[in-house]
A and B are shown apart, each in its own frame.
Chain A
């Protein structure tokens, strides 16, 4: 059972901005552990999208941005495109250094 909570789904029209929240606790995100985000396109393996709360790996469009505050984090997608339709997962860890994944959010482009 995941301890990082995400909304099950978000949707938006092409060109719009959507945000996905990731809610944790003082034992994980609030303890200072970084938050990372993964994108999983249908039928494929997850791909690293944001690392270290705000950083994009090479090749990830700057339409994707991450932030962290207190015990929560957010992923924003601006200028939503059809190719962004996917599942998104946040990740952090706790003092045991076990990784924790969020519950996942399905993004639908209307």
Chain B
């Protein structure tokens, strides 16, 4: 059974870089049918998709509103993938979820497995 687990600092200072890692267990990250990505949810609000990357690193998609500050990377040797979000502000305070993004066909992309989430607070 596939499991995803987020890890990283729960507190980040304004203007600094938020860095999170997702460890995948119960399956390989090196599968051509999947992308690996991140979604966030500010307290009491809805879901915001951040981006996803293929394990090969050759293809990725980012939310246009975050694209200039986001980078996702994949480490197949550790079965992990990571998120970096630069120049954070209080508006980036949220629960961050890692997830597996499945592609059934060219017009059907969805997150079929999620981590439990990690709360990251941006504050000095």
Interface residues of A (CB under 8 A from B): 2, 32-34, 36, 38, 44-48, 51-52, 57, 89, 91, 93, 96-104
Given A96-B61, A101-B49, decide whether A34 and B97 contact each other with a Cβ distance below 8 A: no
| In the complex, residue of chain B having the shortest beta-carbon distance to the beta carbon of A44 | B116
Contacts of B108 in A (CB 8 A): 33-34, 36, 51-52
Seen from chain B, the residues whose Cβ lies within 8 Å of a Cβ on chain A are 39, 46-49, 51-52, 61-64, 97, 101-102, 104, 107-117
Partner of A2, one of B46, B97, B102: B46
Distance in angstroms between the alpha carbons of A38 and B51 in the assembled complex? 18
- Assembled-state Cα–Cα distance A63/B63 (Å): 33
Residue of B102, B107, B116 near A45 (CB, 8 A) is B116
Looking at the assembled complex, report how far the CB atom of B97 sits from the nearest CB atom of chain A, in whole angstroms: 6
Closest to B65 in A: A1
**Nearest Cβ in chain B — how far from A40, in angstroms?**
8
A98-B117 contact, Cβ under 8 Å, with A34-B107, A36-B110, A48-B110: no
Residues of A within 8 A of B112 (CB): 48, 51, 57
A–B complex contacts, Cβ < 8 Å, 28 sampled:
A33-B107, A33-B108, A33-B109, A34-B107, A36-B110, A46-B39, A46-B114, A48-B110, A48-B111, A51-B102, A51-B104, A51-B108, A52-B108, A52-B110, A89-B46, A91-B49, A93-B109, A96-B61, A98-B61, A98-B62, A98-B63, A98-B64, A99-B61, A99-B111, A100-B49, A101-B49, A102-B46, A103-B46
